[in-house]
């Protein structure tokens, strides 16, 4: 009778160095992509809010394109399509650029919504006081917008931890790719996928705890600010 599950194999791979290195790759891939995506997304969000059409229209087209096409297709185009026009990127470079550009399109909408939620009267009042646009953004808009942006931003990090698995199609050796390599060598399909699922679950659970702590901290800051206003 064919054995369909091996507990010894499962526990051996649970602490396998090859798998652990793949999980670490997933973590830094997520960290770099979300950071780059936030920077690009912030710039795109400002461009979309610009009254100048030459800034607004390209930003709108960018968001439309990257949100409307699958990440898998974008990665394949970046990795195999760009060399046709003379731009050859490594697997790591292609994965980072693909994830960053895709994530930036979603984060741009999150940032734009957060900025738009700040009452326009506060901005007009700041301008009337002679504050520069950079000062208004730094001291008036962003402190309030952050409280709106942080929850969906945290959810984006959670989603990106799992979305990095798509980069396995271009041979990026993150957690899923290394799991697939071991499956081809050892034929322990269920055991190895179970181990990968546990690692993904552990990473997303830890991030969920971190996100809740960040949200509570900003919630307390919000309550403190409101209390200060009430006592004036």
Residue 26 lies in a domain: yes
Measure the CA–CA gap between 203 and 57, rounded to whole angstroms. 38
pLDDT 10s digits, 216-228: 887 755 544 444 4
Long-range contacts of 62-70 (CB under 8 A, 24+ apart): 62/105, 62/108, 63/105, 63/108, 63/109, 65/105, 66/101, 66/102, 66/104, 66/105, 67/105, 67/106, 67/109
What pLDDT is stored for residue 43 in this prediction? 96
Provide the CATH number for the domain around residue 223: 1.10.3720.10
For residue 112, is it within any domain? Answer: yes
Residue 210 domain-assigned? yes
Q: pTM for the full model?
A: 0.89
Overall domain count for the chain: 1
Tens digits of residue pLDDT in 24-51: 999 999 999 999 999 999 999 999 999 9
Asked, for residue 93, whether it belongs to a domain, the answer is yes
* pLDDT on residue 222: 55
Give the pLDDT of residue 229.
39
CA atoms of 229 and 62, how far apart (whole Å):
40
Query: Residue 231 pLDDT more than 50?
Result: no
Tens digit of each residue's pLDDT (9 = 90 or more) over 49-76: 999 999 999 999 999 999 999 999 999 9
Please report whether residue 1 resides in a domain: no
Within a domain: residue 138?
yes
Identify whether 2 is part of a domain: no
What is the span of the domain harbouring residue 193?
7-230
In a domain, 173, yes or no: yes
């Amino acid at each position: 009778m064919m054995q369909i599950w091996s507990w010894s194999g499962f526990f051996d791979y649970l602490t396998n160095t090859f798998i652990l290195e793949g999980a670490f790759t997933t973590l830094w891939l997520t960290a770099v992509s979300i950071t780059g995506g936030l920077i690009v997304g912030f710039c795109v969000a400002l461009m979309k809010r610009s009254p100048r059409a030459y800034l607004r229209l390209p930003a709108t087209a960018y968001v439309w394109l990257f949100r409307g096409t699958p990440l898998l297709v974008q990665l394949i185009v970046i990795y195999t399509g760009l060399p046709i026009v003379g731009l050859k990127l490594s697997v790591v470079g292609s994965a980072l650029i693909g994830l960053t550009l895709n994530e930036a399109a979603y984060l741009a909408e999150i940032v734009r919504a957060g900025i738009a939620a700040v009452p326009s009267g506060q901005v007009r009042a700041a301008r009337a006081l002679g504050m520069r646009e950079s000062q208004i953004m730094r001291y008036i808009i962003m402190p309030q917008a952050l409280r709106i942006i942080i929850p969906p931003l945290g959810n984006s990090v959670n989603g990106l931890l799992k979305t990095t698995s798509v980069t396995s199609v271009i041979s990026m050796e993150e957690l899923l790719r290394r799991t697939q390599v071991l499956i081809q060598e050892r034929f322990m399909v269920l055991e190895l996928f179970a181990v990968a699922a546990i690692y993904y679950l552990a990473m997303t659970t830890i991030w969920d705890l971190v996100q809740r702590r960040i949200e509570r901290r900003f919630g307390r800051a919000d309550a403190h600010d409101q209390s200060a206003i009430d006592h004036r």
